[in-house]
A = this chain, B = another copy of it.
Amino acid sequence: MAVIYERVALIGLGLIAGSMAHAMRRAGCVGEIIGTARSAETRAIAAEINLCDQIADTAAEAVKDADLVVLCVPVGAMASVMDEIGPLLKQGATLTDVGSVKQAVIDLVSPYVPEGVHFIPGHPLAGTEHSGPRSGFATLFDNRWNILVPLEGADQTKVDQLADFWTALGAKVTTMTPDHHDLVLAVTSHTPHLIAYTMVGVADDLARVTESEVVNFSAAGFRDFTRIAASDPTMWRDVFLTNKDATLEILGRFTEELFALQRAIRQGDGEHLHDYFTRTRAIRRGIIDAGQDTAEPNFGRAPGTKE
């Protein structure tokens, strides 16, 4: 494959950056990968597993001469990173990010982007419950969507180049406005995560059901929630702090529906419940047909092993 960017700098070396490094090498679509992270331990692990071609001690050092700079830090850390690297970005370079919210990232990052640098926000819709530099893998983005959110007046050549890059990493690329992105993600990601965290918190907190009961009997459905609720706490804190309005809107809709179902249970309205539970099956079928999940029962989990 042709080289799309000569020199790529990854700022932050967690699950997404690590997976990007593996996927870039699989594709052979970049010349050189430079990575950096604030924590010395993270940098040491990345060096030990040879995640990048070079590990830089500072973000300032990493972005020198980079043709593509990718912000892979929690949203709450982006402004301070930009304060450090903004003045050092190469003329003509592309700057992007992988943050889960987009309007807040634009507000935080834009003031630091110099004239002549192309800032194109983005969000690869892929992840796992694991985090840290060892958690990445090359296939994470395969067949997953990456939403690019080009700003008004963006250079289309640069947007196309970034789209080609993500396509080379295995992803499908689309574009959206920041507002619409934040609403769609509030539905497909942010509210589900908050609900999963809440349910696991409730289970953890009950005096009448012991923790070992919750753990042992989790295969009846609960264990699916605990996977989501094991995601990185800092990243998720920042998501909710920076996508407040859309999350609160969807949460409002959610509690409204939940109360209606709760009333149906209290009143013994079996027809209401059955209708509701029937209609939600179709959407699962759509997700499987679109290649966004497996049709295997229980996600194709390996069957339990006898101890």
Interface residues of A (CB under 8 A from B): 76, 100, 125-130, 135, 137, 139-140, 142-145, 147, 170, 183-185, 187-189, 191-206, 208-209, 211-231, 233-234, 236-238, 240-241, 244, 247-248, 250-251, 253-255, 257-258, 261-262, 265-266, 268, 270, 273-274, 276-287, 290-294, 296-307
Within the complex, what minimum Cβ distance (angstroms) separates A74 from chain B?
Answer: 11
- B188:A222 contact, CB within 8 angstroms: yes
Within the complex, what minimum Cβ distance (angstroms) separates A177 from chain B?
Answer: 12
Within the complex, what minimum Cβ distance (angstroms) separates A219 from chain B?
Answer: 5
- B221:A192 contact, CB within 8 angstroms: yes
- B265:A241 contact, CB within 8 angstroms: yes
- A218:B292 contact, CB within 8 angstroms: yes
Within the complex, what minimum Cβ distance (angstroms) separates A220 from chain B?
Answer: 4
- B290:A215 contact, CB within 8 angstroms: yes
- B203:A293 contact, CB within 8 angstroms: no
**How far does the alpha carbon of A24 sit from the alpha carbon of B221 in the complex, in Å?**
24
- B277:A233 contact, CB within 8 angstroms: yes
Q: Given that A203-B283, A280-B226 are contacting pairs, would A293 and B143 also be in contact in the complex, using a CB cutoff of 8 Å?
A: no
Q: Name the B residues within 8 Å of A201 (CB-CB).
A: 257, 276, 279-280
- B258:A305 contact, CB within 8 angstroms: no
Q: Name the B residues within 8 Å of A253 (CB-CB).
A: 202, 205-206
A229-B284, A244-B265 known; 20 other A-B pairs, CB under 8 Å? A130-B297, A135-B297, A137-B297, A139-B304, A142-B304, A143-B307, A145-B217, A145-B219, A183-B209, A187-B203, A189-B217, A197-B261, A200-B284, A221-B228, A223-B292, A223-B293, A229-B277, A230-B284, A233-B277, A247-B265
